[in-house]
Amino acid sequence: MFIEEDVKLDFCDVLIKPKRSTLKSRKDVSLERAMHYKWSNVHDVVIPLWAANMDTTGTFEIAKAFQMGLCNGYWGEQAMPFVALHKHYDIEDWDSTVYFPEDTNARMVEAEFPSGSNNMAYTCGMNKKEFEKMKVVLEKHHHNGLRYICLDVANGYHQDFLDFVRKVREWAGKRFVIVAGNVVTREMTEALILAGADVVKVGIGPGSVCTTRKVAGVGYPQLSAVMECADAAHGLEGHVMADGGCTCPGDVAKAFGAGADFVMLGGMLAGHDESGGEVVDVDGTAYKRFYGMSSDTAMEKHNGGVATYRASEGKTVTVPYRGAVLDTMKEVLGGLRSACTYVGASQIKYLPKCTSFVRVNRQLNNVFGS
């Protein structure tokens, strides 16, 4: 038994300290970032926000909305946020929903999906069937711009997972960017990068519909996890993605300030027109269902129920209907630009260098509600 005595922090434990800045306007801040990866030949200019690979947020509809945002000038001249498509889409879903614009029968035309699959990642679990399905989809559609793989397991500490990352990298070569996780500590961040991951996904238990900390007693405060894993990854020319724990645009800014190269959003993107989940009417008010991928709901939907040897580690909730996802993303990007102006970061990549955190006992004045 061992206890680490130093304090570990969450987003709610800190605020970003303002500094003198020469930026005159939020318009002076660029949220686009040129990305180069350790193991891949892919070079991208991105808006470094990802919709989580949950079947209520990692949807083709959100990917399409993000692409429409690019056409309408929401993001920048050439970049847009990403979507990690949930792993339960089958091969026919990929073929009929996204590609082959020359066939307009029950498929989206090219004008509706102007960028092909340039902002999508394929999500894969560890079993052989999922790996074989992934190879079929990626080989078939790599030429359409599909070049990101998200290897997703709840517990990234298994030796089998390291072996799987090596296996996928051996197959993928330099053609694909591999995002792998989830972990929360330095040593496993380093191990995953050395095994072939370009980006390590960081977060165990911080999500709004994750109950791992309650059920298993396992986790790590997300701000400290991001800081420590980013430090480890950057020393090896790798990257990290903060996954979970963001409840508002300010938390997203803190994640980037802590060193995250990407931030993945789940709960913040739930409840929209483009999100999955059923619409529920409660006393005349519209809500949508949102649930964790280890919840009873998800297990029943995709696996026929929770296996006898495990417990549910997610919950099912209803969230208020929130309209178009682009409106929420506009708030997130506006908050990020504002944070950058407060500390003098003209580009999102400079935010960690400009950020100093101050410990707080209270973030908000909630006298009139949150």
Mind telling me the catalytic residues?
A: 210
Q: CB of 275 within 8 A of CB of 328?
A: no
Alpha-carbon distance 243 to 150, whole Å?
A: 12
Q: Can you state the angle between helices 325-343 and 249-257, rounded to 10 degrees?
A: 50
First and final C-alpha spacing in the chain: 40
In this structure, the number of other CB atoms found within 10 A of the CB of residue 136 comes to 11
Cis ω on the peptide bond leading into residue 182 (within 30° of 0)? Answer: yes
Q: Which of 58, 39, 365 is nearest to 171 (CA)?
A: 39
Alpha-carbon distance 230 to 235, whole Å?
A: 8
